[in-house]
Amino acid sequence: MTQTATEQLQIFLDIATESVLAAGAVLKERWGKLNNIQEKGRPGDLVTEADKLAEAQVLKILNLHLPEHQILAEESGALGNTNSKYLWAIDPLDGTTNYAHGLPMAATSVGLMIDGVPSVGAVYNPFSNELFRAARGLGATCNRRPIQVSPTSELTQSLLITGFAYDRRETTDNNYAEFCHLTHLTQGVRRLGCASMDLAGVACGRLDGYWERGLQPWDITAGIVILEEAGGKVTAYDGSPLDINSGRILATNSLIHDSLSQALLETPPLAEWKS
């Protein structure tokens, strides 16, 4: 008997879930026991044995169930069948800087693109024990309960989140000006250091909007599906369709999308910014 598209998405979602839970168990087990923290290139861009061990768990599960699929994993790079329309984007430890410092805000993020469209996502934070999941058309959940975005419709009433990429010392396009500008226009801008949980936070209504530059597909593929299935909107900064390889994302509860987009585009340079 052939599977329906929905049944197939459900199977992929279960595999994504199995892999993030296995990786999360590794992150818990290695917590506080790290003895080899390295920089990957740029200052502050860390990798630990926990990143590698957690990624090995995800790869083992994907290879077992779906050996014919394509994979983009943060620590191992491109793997598998490059002709496949299925591409898994894996961040084994999103929030490595937090993890390495003993700050319990980190997650494993496993997302699937089908023909380039984010279609399945699982994000598991083993410290809060929160499992966010979604598949296109099937809704989004946190710990198996449906979630939805906030009803906040005014930028002035919103709580936002952002981040600063590892190349921030090498460019003036480092998000500092946007951070100042949006801090003035809203109830606040947070920085948790974990892009997948930033997106999940908007998806479940704790936050109203998120923007960031310098991201990789493994940071956001799963979170995009979760947010869109929870009623949110994801685009480029200017509201045009998202290019997942551009590094930039604007992600909101939908209601503040246009006003946040406009505010980002109108950000004055830092030199002109006054208190």
Residues that bind ligand IPD (CB under 6 A): 91, 94-97, 163-165, 193-195, 212, 214-215, 219
Q: How many angstroms separate the first and last alpha carbons of the chain?
A: 66
Using the minimum distance from each CB to ligand IPD, give the nearer residue, 109 or 141: 109
Please tell me the distance from the alpha carbon of residue 125 to that of residue 72, in angstroms, as a whole number. Answer: 21
Pick between residue 31 and residue 164 the one whose CB is nearest to ligand IPD.
Answer: 164
- According to DSSP, the β-strands at 139-142 and 46-47 are unpaired
- The tokens for 151 are 């009803």
Choose among Ca ion, ligand IPD, none what residue 31 binds, the Cβ cut-off being 5 to 8 Å by kind.
Answer: none
Residue nearer to ligand IPD on the CB measure, 178 or 219: 219
Question: Read out DSSP for 62-130?
Answer: HHHH-TTSEEEETTTEEEE-TT-SEEEEEEEEETHHHHHHT----EEEEEEEETTEEEEEEEEETTTTE
Beta carbon of residue 5, minimum distance to ligand IPD (angstroms, whole number): 31
165's contact among Ca ion, ligand IPD, none, with CB below 5 to 8 A by partner kind, is ligand IPD
Which of Ca ion, ligand IPD, none interacts with 194 (beta carbon under 5 to 8 A by kind)?
ligand IPD
For residue 6 the two structure tokens come to: 């929905």
Of 203, 205, 265, 264, nearest to 234 by C-alpha is: 203
Which of 267, 258, 206 minimizes the C-alpha distance to 233?
258
Residue 40 CB, shortest distance to Ca ion, in Å, is 10
Which residue's C-beta sits nearest to Ca ion? 94
Kindly tell me which of 126 and 255 has the beta carbon lying closer to ligand IPD.
Answer: 126
Q: How far is the CB of 220 from ligand IPD (least distance, A)?
A: 9
The minimum distance between CB 96 and ligand IPD, in angstroms, equals: 4
Query: What is the closest distance, in whole angstroms, from the C-beta atom of residue 219 to Ca ion in the complex?
Result: 4
Residue 4 CB, shortest distance to ligand IPD, in Å, is 34
20 versus 255: smaller Cβ distance to ligand IPD: 20
Which residue, 126 or 163, has its beta carbon nearer to ligand IPD?
Answer: 163
Q: For residue 144, what is the DSSP state?
A: T
Instruction: For 147-178, give the DSSP string.
Output: --------GGG-EEE----TTTTT-S-SSHHH
Evaluated on CA atoms 197, 202, 203, 206, the torsion sign reads positive
Q: What sign does the CA torsion over 74, 76, 77, 81 have?
A: negative
Which lies closer to Ca ion via its Cβ, residue 89 or residue 134? 89
Q: Locate tokens 């956001």: which residue? A: 220
Q: How far is the CB of 153 from ligand IPD (least distance, A)?
A: 26
121 binds, among ligand IPD, Ca ion, none (CB under 5 to 8 A by kind): none
Q: Which residues bind Ca ion (CB under 5 A)?
A: 74, 91, 93-94, 219
Q: Return the SS3 of 14.
A: helix
